[in-house]
Structure 1
Amino acid sequence: MINITLKQEQETFIQEKLNSGEYNNIDEIITEALLLLEQKDKHYQQWVKETQDKLNIGIEQLNAGQGINSEIVINRLKNKYHTLIK
């Protein structure tokens, strides 16, 4: 069994959830919290993988000479910025 220490705000939050009738007991609250944490972790891992894949594609393109001059990119970004703030 795992013992945890909660901050007063966390205890109050849990008690409010129980009082609202949304949950029948603390086990339901902890189960939902852990499911949400698991979803968050999976989402983050997927984002990391997608970002790594995009970086690898970009590196391959740069190595193949398909890059864009940094001055061109900066000027495009500046133009977009100025268009947005108008």
Structure 2
Amino acid sequence: MQIVLSAEVEALLQRQLNSGKYQNAIEVILAGIKLLEQQEDIYQGRLQDLQQEARIGWEASQRGEVVDGATAIAQIRANVRSSYGVSNEA
């Protein structure tokens, strides 16, 4: 199999080799593949977290435990004010 690299990718590969961190192009490519795999694992984990959070929100909405955005912001501001002893006067 032959891989043709764009000039930009070739320059990036050469910079990595010139840094002395890698002995050859294969090492650079393998490092890139490893990072890609790690990134995909992170995204997959985050996707699962988001799906769980969405499920929790949906279940709360089905129980009537949600408020509109303006009410939520007002509650957050009130909590911050009471936590830091800030008065409601602006």
Shorter-normalised TM-score: what interval? 0.7 to 0.9
1:40-79 correspondence runs (5 A): 40-73=39-72, 75=74
Q: Give the Cα–Cα distance (whole angstroms) in 2 for the partners of residues 44 and 34 of structure 1.
A: 15
- Please, what TM-score do these two structures have when normalized by structure 1? 0.77
Question: How far 1:19 moved relative to its partner?
Answer: 2.0
For 1:12 and 1:71, locate their aligned partners in 2 and report how far apart those are by CA, in whole Å. Answer: 51
Unpaired runs of 5+ residues, structure 2, are 78-90
Tell me which stretches of 4 or more aligned residues in structure 1 moved more than 6 Å: none
> Could you tell me which residue of structure 1 aligns to residue 9 of structure 2?
10
Which one has a bigger Cα radius of gyration?
2
Cα deviations across residues 60-85 of structure 1 (Å, max 9, x unaligned)? 011011111333135568x6xxxxxx
Equivalent residue letter for 1:6: L
> Which 5+ residue runs of structure 1 have no aligned equivalent?
80-86
Task: Identify if the C-alpha distance between structure 1 residues 69 and 9 changes in structure 2 by more than 3 Å, giving closer, same or farther.
Answer: closer
Match of 1:36 in 2: 35
Instruction: Go from structure 1 to structure 2 and tell me whether the alpha carbon gap of 1:69 and 1:19 turns closer, same or farther (over 3 Å shift).
Output: closer
Aligned identity (percent) is 34
User: More helix by proportion, 1 or 2?
Assistant: 1
**TM-score scaled to structure 2, two decimals?**
0.74
Count of aligned residue pairs for this structure pair: 79
Shift of 1:25: 0.6
SS at 2:54's partner residue?
A: helix
1:24 equivalent in structure 2: 23
